[in-house]
Amino acid sequence: MTTSLLEISELTKTFGGVRAVNNCTFAVPEGQVVGLIGPNGAGKSTVVDLVSGFGRPDSGTIMFAGEQLVGKSPDVISRLGLIRTFQTPREWRNLSVMDNVMLARRRFDNEGLWQCMIRARAIRREEESDRAAVREILERFQLTELKNELASRLSGGQKRLLEFARIAAAEPRLIILDEPMGGVNPVLGTRIGDAVGQFAGDGRTVIVVEHNLPFIEKTCDQVVVMDLGEVIAQGPFAGLRDNPRVVEAYLGMDLGHG
């Protein structure tokens, strides 16, 4: 049995009187793709925010590779090897596609103000290997032709691909995708599924928050189901169809094509 990379226990977060996340506990094994599903308002995105440092839980713990994430800021958590996306692709609009992916390489050592004044030429030389890696990644996501364009010029689908190119460039241990299939056509959807598969193949752990259940069924090793801030089920997708609580939460929705 693999060990858990991420362990969330008894996590609670309230906004005013609303318990967005209520005593939420689940674990994500290293190397697996885990789907996080549930109806609107179930608290999925809040969990993502709490894990990535964009919100602070009222109580509970979040352990990532032996580190307590509660109380750490987003940049610190990101530097530990966790990359998250947002529901809309948040590309850096007025930077080129190349720069967007170069930034995701995250060579923080070369970003000091003094460094850049004194060692400008050396830094440019050191960047060459990253440029080569980024070119390969752009090729993989079919963005090579667009690499010198501003990211704002890309279409919605291309922005999704850029998002995945950035994740690939960042080489994180844990990837959290917040609704990667939002507004995506079927062809692009297949490619996004492939990308998730490739991340898993590289040994990365992936959490996918998604409403598209066929996508979840295809890509995820197991699924965590949330409703009204609580985890109501966890396990392989196939077993969920018979779970009365899941059926109740998803009343009227087709849980796969069985």
Site residues (vs other proteins, CB under 8 A): 52-54, 73-75, 78-79, 83-86, 90-96, 98-100, 102-104, 106-108, 110-113, 115-117, 120-121, 123-125, 127-128, 131, 134-135, 147-148, 150, 166, 170
Whole-number minimum distance, CB 166 to other proteins, in Å? 7
Sign of the CA dihedral with 132 first, then 134, 138, and 140 last: positive
Q: Which is nearer to other proteins, 134 or 233 (CB)?
A: 134
Whole-number minimum distance, CB 150 to other proteins, in Å? 6
Whole-number minimum distance, CB 63 to other proteins, in Å? 20
Distance CA 52, CA 65 (A): 14
140-173 CB burial, b ≥16 within 10 A, e <16: ebebeebbeebbeebeebbbbbbbbbbbbbbebb
Q: Which is nearer to other proteins, 51 or 223 (CB)?
A: 51
Whole-number minimum distance, CB 187 to other proteins, in Å? 26
Q: Which is nearer to other proteins, 35 or 53 (CB)?
A: 53
Residue 177 to residues 33, 214, 241, 251, 253, Cα–Cα distance (Å): 11, 16, 24, 25, 23
Residue 91: left if φ>0, alpha if ψ -120 to 50, beta else—which one? Answer: beta
Whole-number minimum distance, CB 139 to other proteins, in Å? 12
Q: Which is nearer to other proteins, 37 or 104 (CB)?
A: 104
Q: Which is nearer to other proteins, 64 or 237 (CB)?
A: 64
Closest CA to 237 of 159, 251, 258: 258
Whole-number minimum distance, CB 135 to other proteins, in Å? 7
Amino acid (one-letter) located at 107: R
Q: Which is nearer to other proteins, 13 or 105 (CB)?
A: 105
Classified as helix, coil or strand, 107 is coil
Whole-number minimum distance, CB 206 to other proteins, in Å? 16
Burial (CB count <10 Å: 0-12, 13-18, 19+), residue 137: buried
Residue 171 to residues 40, 101, 130, 202, Cα–Cα distance (Å): 30, 12, 12, 9
Q: Which is nearer to other proteins, 118 or 253 (CB)?
A: 118
Query: In sequence order, what are the beta bridge partners of 233?
Result: 225
Amino acid (one-letter) located at 149: E
